[in-house]
Amino acid sequence: MQTVTLNNGVKMPILGFGVFQIAPEQTEQAVTDALAAGYRLLDTAAAYGNEEAVGRAIKTSGIPREELFVTTKLWVQDTGEENTRRAFDTSLRKLGLDYLDLYLIHQPYGDVHGSWRAMEGLNREGRAKAIGVSNFYADRLVDLIDHNEITPAVNQIETHPFFQRTADQELMRERGVQIESWGGFAEGKNNLFTHPVLSGIAGQHGRSVAQVVLRWLVQRDVVAIPKSVRADRMKENIDVFDFELTDDQMASIATLDTGGSLFFDHRDPAAVSRIGNLSIHD
């Protein structure tokens, strides 16, 4: 598996398995199948409600802990210095682990600076090998970097052919932050899986559109975490390291960028209020 090296020297697989929107009762089998297919990066979150199922799959897999890269995330209601440590301990207990490879602030709301101070401590203690953020636009990311000691290792953001985030990626590169994609397939919006540009490139390589999109992300040095509950799709999604898109094909995909989110803008006041008040503890 190809890896990227984070700003603190930690190596992270460039392709992993995400469990967003997988029901807890399906998650253990899905993760078991993903690990069998060769995935070693697992991405979950407190808000997904399936950390315990991920933990069970890890435990029964028999795969040595040091071969896995496990990410989870802190929800908005748990921000702040003391709350973050409690939430981290809860996630660790649910996962059945004694350390995390990557801990992310899930949303750029609440007391993120207090949370970051706690996460810096967890990182120094070795309990979180790397720390980062998710859904931070450039202004919030720079603010966090400029007023804290440790620069986020990762920023996980919406990134797909219709919202490519090239300017954001360039700023992250300048600041030493690794870009990671969520929603790499845009959840099928804009007819992604039958889009003529993507389908045409897929046909030229004898591959699926999903494989073309993942290969496009990998060639851009973007970490991707595709989700599936089907073992055959998991195997297909990880099989993208034996072909390469040409410069012309990369340029064709570049023309698909709309420059805007297909889901919601984290800077929109209504979205800020809605997400910021969504409790996972109710």
Q: Which long-range contacts (CB under 8 A, 24 or more apart) does 195-198 make?
A: 195/161, 195/256, 197/252, 197/253, 197/255, 197/256, 198/161, 198/253, 198/256
Q: Which of 39, 48, 103, 109 is catalytic?
A: 48
Residues near 205 by Cβ (< 8 Å), separated by ≥ 6?
211, 212, 243, 245
User: Among all chains, which residue has been given the structure tokens 């496990």?
Assistant: 70
User: Among all chains, which residue has been given the structure tokens 């993942």?
Assistant: 214
Annotated active-site residue 48? The verdict is yes
Alpha-carbon gap, residue 48 to 50, rounded angstroms: 6
Alpha-carbon gap, residue 226 to 233, rounded angstroms: 10
Grouping H, G, I as helix, E, B as strand and the rest as coil, residue 70 is strand
Q: Which residues are designated catalytic?
A: 48
